């Protein structure tokens, strides 16, 4: 989802968009053939193992992609001058904080996915020129996401059960792609101190609140029954608080991303119900 949005957003640059069908980041020789001989000014590393529940049973695979794969990409760049942008997640936190997490808060992932992404962060942070972007609850075209799933289920069912005790910010891939593009612009024009930036759409909600909003926008009457996280009996634990403070990004860029309601409405209108 994010890679496609970034490819469209970064057209003003000379870009090389590589999909997993064309290159395996866990294969050093494959990476060397794709980017080993190219002088790159920036790399946005979106590739990841993202099956949160699946990672609990496939620990080695999750770390092979999210840690070792990241290491391979960094080594293939073969340049200390290249800007490395690493896409990370709210799942590096345990969710026990009562307010929004800042970039300086202590990390403590609850699941294998979060731990493997944090391992990738550690590798990125060692580079002279790096930007680590933590985001959450991604949605957009070209991939599975909660919003499309709820819209589909709401058309078929009179009632659905949705978790009510996890809070975060739905984040539209197009809005996130613009923010990443702007950070890259600022970096090359003014210089940006390497570090971590939280970037999501503005505002917070629970999954149940998000589901109700989707159903209202769809003009449906499907009933949303609120349930606790434990009732789902998923393999991986999720942080109950996934709220991320965006003040650092706003101070850098001068703006906040649109509120999540506007983003969801745009996605539904243009990609789900078109």
- Going by the DSSP 8-state scheme, the letter that residue 44 receives in this structure is E
Round to whole Å and give the CA distance between 29 and 59: 24
pLDDT confidence of residue 254: 95
Cβ neighbours of residue 158 under 8 Å, at least 6 residues apart? 221, 222, 223
pLDDT confidence of residue 71: 95
Three-point CA angle 266, 269, 274, nearest 5°: 145
Please report the sign of the dihedral spanned by the C-alpha atoms of residue 177, residue 87, residue 137, residue 249: negative
pLDDT confidence of residue 79: 72
pLDDT confidence of residue 233: 87
pLDDT confidence of residue 266: 96
Cβ(136)–Cβ(244) under 8 Å? yes
pLDDT confidence of residue 273: 84
Round to whole Å and give the CA distance between 148 and 170: 13
3-state SS assignment for residue 63 = helix
pLDDT confidence of residue 193: 73
Phi-psi domain of 235 (left: phi exceeds 0; alpha: psi -120 through 50; beta: other) = alpha
Cβ(132)–Cβ(122) under 8 Å? no
pLDDT confidence of residue 34: 86
- pTM (predicted TM-score): 0.95
| Helix/strand/coil (H/E/C) assignment for every residue in 23-83 | CCCCCHHHHHHHHCCCCCCEEEECCCCCCHHHHHHCHHHHHHHHHHHHHHHHHHHCCCCCE
Round to whole Å and give the CA distance between 241 and 227: 16
Cβ(62)–Cβ(113) under 8 Å? yes
Cβ(111)–Cβ(238) under 8 Å? yes
Round to whole Å and give the CA distance between 182 and 45: 16
Three-point CA angle 172, 69, 184, nearest 5°: 45
Cα-only R_g, the chain: 19
**Strand stretches in 5-158, DSSP E:** 42-45, 83-89, 130-135, 138-139
Q: What does each C-alpha distance from 99 to 35, 65, 83, 207 come to in angstroms?
A: 41, 31, 31, 17
The number of beta carbons lying within 10 Å of the beta carbon of residue 187 is 19
The number of beta carbons lying within 10 Å of the beta carbon of residue 119 is 17
Round to whole Å and give the CA distance between 258 and 267: 13
pLDDT confidence of residue 167: 97
pLDDT tens across the length of the chain (274 residues): 999 999 999 988 999 898 888 889 999 988 888 888 888 999 999 999 999 999 999 999 999 999 999 999 999 987 778 999 999 999 999 999 999 999 999 999 999 999 999 999 999 999 989 999 999 999 999 988 999 999 999 999 999 999 999 999 999 999 999 999 999 999 988 887 789 999 999 999 999 999 999 999 999 999 999 999 999 889 999 999 999 999 999 999 999 999 999 999 999 999 998 7
pLDDT confidence of residue 156: 92
Catalytic residues: 113
**Strand stretches in 48-191, DSSP E:** 83-89, 130-135, 138-139, 159-163, 167-168, 171-172
Cβ(252)–Cβ(182) under 8 Å? no
* Architecture of domain 2-144+170-201+243-258 in this structure: 3-Layer(aba) Sandwich (3.40)
């Amino acid at each position: 989802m994010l890679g496609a949005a970034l490819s469209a957003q970064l057209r003003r640059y000379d870009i090389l968009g590589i999909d997993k069908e064309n290159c395996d980041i866990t294969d050093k020789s494959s990476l060397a053939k794709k980017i080993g001989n190219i002088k790159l000014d920036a790399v946005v590393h979106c590739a990841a193992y993202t099956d949160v529940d699946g990672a609990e049973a496939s620990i080695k695979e999750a770390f092979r992609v999210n840690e070792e794969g990241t290491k391979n990409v960094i080594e293939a760049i073969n340049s200390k001058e290249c800007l490395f942008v690493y896409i990370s997640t709210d799942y590096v936190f345990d969710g026990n904080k009562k307010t929004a997490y800042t970039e300086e808060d202590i990390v403590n992932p609850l699941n294998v996915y979060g731990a493997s992404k944090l391992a990738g962060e550690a590798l990125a942070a060692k580079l002279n020129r790096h930007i680590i972007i933590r985001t959450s609850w991604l949605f957009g075209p070209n991939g599975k996401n909660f919003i499309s799933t709820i819209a589909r289920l709401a058309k078929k069912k009179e009632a659905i059960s949705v978790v009510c005790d996890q809070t975060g910010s739905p984040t539209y891939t197009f809005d996130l792609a613009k923010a990443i593009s702007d950070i890259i612009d600022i970096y090359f024009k003014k210089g940006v101190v390497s570090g971590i930036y939280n970037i999501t759409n503005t505002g917070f909600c629970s999954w149940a609140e998000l589901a109700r909003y989707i159903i209202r926008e769809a003009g449906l009457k499907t009933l949303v029954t609120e349930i606790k996280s434990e009732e789902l009996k998923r393999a991986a634990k999720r942080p109950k608080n996934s709220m991320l403070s965006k003040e650092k990004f706003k101070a850098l860029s001068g703006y906040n991303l649109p509120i999540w309601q506007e983003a969801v409405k745009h996605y539904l209108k243009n990609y789900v119900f078109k």
